[in-house]
Amino acid sequence: AFGVAGEQLPQVAQELAAVAAVHGDRAVLRLDGQATLAALAAEAPGADLLHLACHGRFRADNPAFSFLQLGDGPLTLQDVRALRLRARLVVLSACETGLGRVAPGDELLGLVRAFTLAGARAVLASLWPVDDGATALLLADVHQALSDGAPPAQALQQAQAAAAAA
């Protein structure tokens, strides 16, 4: 789990703590200055589950410039495609990470496609700006359901139903 907190993202540390609480000693956390491009490149290829909690930006004018903000700079689509992932799930806990744009040749460009091309079997992403606190709670429930054996889509559905009932 990689997270970069900030003025608009005060719950990132709590979100990563919730991920760690669910996954126990299997979890590796990198927060703020430790959540670097180099650390991601070194650790992500061996991860079964990758969680990124940070600022994200989709650039509709040029999706190749879309990014996730890590502790030492932006993680771009090109950086993501260079990763060699084996993750069954990548969780993108950031705004608008699920947006994409159809490019010439009917190719969809965006972060989800980049993570899929890098080898992720599934990507959980958002299509809109997200509230930091609500997202942290929702994703804690998603991780609990994943830990209990639910597949990603079911884990998200269960977490959304619980949030709606609260």
Express each pLDDT in 140-149 by its tens digit.
999 999 999 9
Q: Assign residue 129 a region: left if phi > 0, alpha if psi is -120 to 50, beta otherwise?
A: beta
10, 4, 13, 22: which is closest to 148 by C-alpha? Answer: 22
CA atoms within 13 A on the CB side of 117: 14
Supply 87's token pair: 């993750």
Q: Could you say which residues of the chain have pLDDT below 50?
A: none
pLDDT of residue 106: 59
d(CA 34, CA 132): 20
pLDDT of residue 130: 86
Supply 51's token pair: 């969680």
73-76: strand order across its sheet: 56-57, 67-70, 73-76
pLDDT of residue 24: 93
d(CA 142, CA 138): 6
∠ CA 132-90-25, rounded to 5°: 85
Which 3 state secondary structure label does DSSP give 92? strand
Is the Cβ–Cβ distance between 58 and 51 less than 8 Å?
no
Supply 93's token pair: 């806990």
d(CA 86, CA 47): 7
